[in-house]
Amino acid sequence: MQMVKNILLIIATLWFAILLFMPKVDLYYSLENKLVKKGIVINEKSIDESVFSLSLKESDIYAEGINLVKLNKINIFTLLFYSSINVNGINIDESLKSFIPVTVEKLIASHSILSPRKVFITIVGNFGVADGIVDLKKKIIRLDFSDTNELNNLKKQLKKDKKGWYYEKSF
Amino acid sequence: MKNPFKLKIFKNVIVILVIFVLIKLLWVVADTLWLSSYGVEHKKEVGGKGLYYRVKLSTNKAPPPPKVEPKKIIKIAGNIKEIKLKAIYSSDESTVVTIVYKQKTKILGLGDTINGFTLNGGGSNYAIFVKNSKNYRVELEESKKSKNIYNSIKFSKDTTKKIENKSTPSLPDGEIIDAGDHKIIDKSLIEYYTKDIDSIYKNIGIKDLKKDNIVNGFMITFVRRGTPFAKLGLKRGDILKAINGRQLNSYKAAFDAYKNALNMSNVTLVIERKKEEMELEYEVN
């Protein structure tokens, strides 16, 4: 019993130490540097670090030098076995309004060790709510627009099945 | 005597501290070897300011004082119902109109006659025709019509389905008029295409040209016949090099041109056709 307790204590200490000393800002900067090679630049006004999370405020996302998206707040949270990204206030450039909704209130992406090959997504916008999955094994994104108001021009990008309108793309 | 110092707790604290130090060391090593300590700042492109106007060069002579001519009062005998005015370009020197007569679109210049009516002049939103020494005024069909068409494409469920089923997408109403050295583009066309980027790609194919991974212009891969893009004089294989003095050497330059299209009153497009550079001039009216 004592042995089990000791092992649990070591695992808990390891887990906490990894999170506590994780250079979250530098990890984020490394991600920024990798994205640059794909033509994507993220500029943020401020970065706040805490034990379990990293918050970015007023971020601008540039694709090939074009400022396409403005994000009010991004919160990256991790417990290692469960991670999530919360994005609030997504404003997409007006020129893309014929493709996608230009204002999205919230985007939540979460990943759990219980389903390691899936990322669950929820998007809340003026179109309603869309729930979906990114299947990392099959390399497919699927978003179901089940609880929706007006899809308008978004329908051009969607398909329809028994459940309703959905978006699907492989990557 | 009881020992107040618990060896077991001390051992645990030492183990925890050792783990903390080890993990910290590992992160420091990983940070030094693989991670970046600096983010990436977006560099604002410094390019020449776009020339969104045409400059007419003249001699140093002072311009003559403008002649003040008494305004002619034109007596209007009535309207012509069978002629519908779709677009008009009117200046002191010339008037060009696009009309629909018996469901056929025709372009008339000053002095041209249709069904006995001769084009005699016009204003910003009307044209004057003469027949038997009598003047007839034809009002420009309001641009509301084209807006309604656009709205019905976007929002009406039934119409959307019908349009999706059609193999050829409906075209906007505006015209492109050839005025010799330059072409005159109806502004409603630019409004239509800036609102719906999707409709551009159905009518014209544009592909980036890269040299050493740097954009070196945009090549036209196809131009749909009969569309406003074909009337612009663009051909398959043309390479778009610059617009209004700004080199198209990045996606941003192209995107900026697209975004500013509505504010342009004159457009000068530098293209490369069969290894020769040439300029295409447009006026937005």
| pLDDT tens sequence across B210-233 | 888 788 899 999 998 888 888 888
Is A169 part of any domain? yes
Using an 8 Å Cβ cutoff, are B222 and B203 in contact?
no
Is A160 part of any domain? yes
User: Do residue B251 and residue A66 have CB atoms under 8 angstroms apart?
Assistant: yes
Is A94 part of any domain? yes
Query: Which candidate from B19, B41, B198 shows the least CB-CB separation from A13?
Result: B19
Give me the domains of chain B, ranges plus CATH numbers.
76-139 (2.30.30.830), 144-284 (2.30.42.10)
ipTM > 0.90, yes or no:
no
| pLDDT tens sequence across B108-118 | 888 888 888 88
pLDDT at B94 over 50: yes
Domain count of chain A?
1
Give me the mean pLDDT over the A62-79 stretch. Answer: 93
Q: How many CB pairs under 8 A join A and B?
A: 92
HEC readout, chain B: CCCCCCHHHHHHHHHHHHHHHHHHHHHHHHHHHCCCCCCCCCCCCCCCCCCCCCCCCCCCCCCCCCCCCCCCCCCEEEECCCEEEEEEEECCCCEEEEEEECCEEEEEECCCEECCEEEEEECCCEEEEEECCEEEEEEECCCHHHHHHHHHHHHCHHHHHHHHHCCCCCCCCCCEEECCCCEEECHHHHHHHHHCHHHHHHHEEEEEEEECCEEEEEEEEEECCCCHHHHCCCCCCCEEEEECCEECCCHHHHHHHHHCHHHCCEEEEEEEECCEEEEEEEEEC
Contact list, B37 vs chain A (CB under 8 Å): 26, 29
Give me the mean pLDDT over the B240-264 stretch. Answer: 87
Q: Does residue A10 belong to the interface with chain B, where contact is any CB pair within 8 Å? A: yes
Smallest CA–CA distance, residue A29 to chain B, in Å, is: 5
Write down the pLDDT at residue B55.
Answer: 52
User: Do residue A29 and residue B15 have CB atoms under 8 angstroms apart?
Assistant: no
Mean pLDDT (chain B) is 76
Contacts with A24 (C-beta within 8 Å, 6 or more apart), sequence order: A49, A53, A54, A76
Contact list, A43 vs chain B (CB under 8 Å): 41-42
User: Do residue A66 and residue B255 have CB atoms under 8 angstroms apart?
Assistant: yes
Contact list, B31 vs chain A (CB under 8 Å): 23, 26
Determine the structural domain holding residue A163 and report its residue range: 79-171
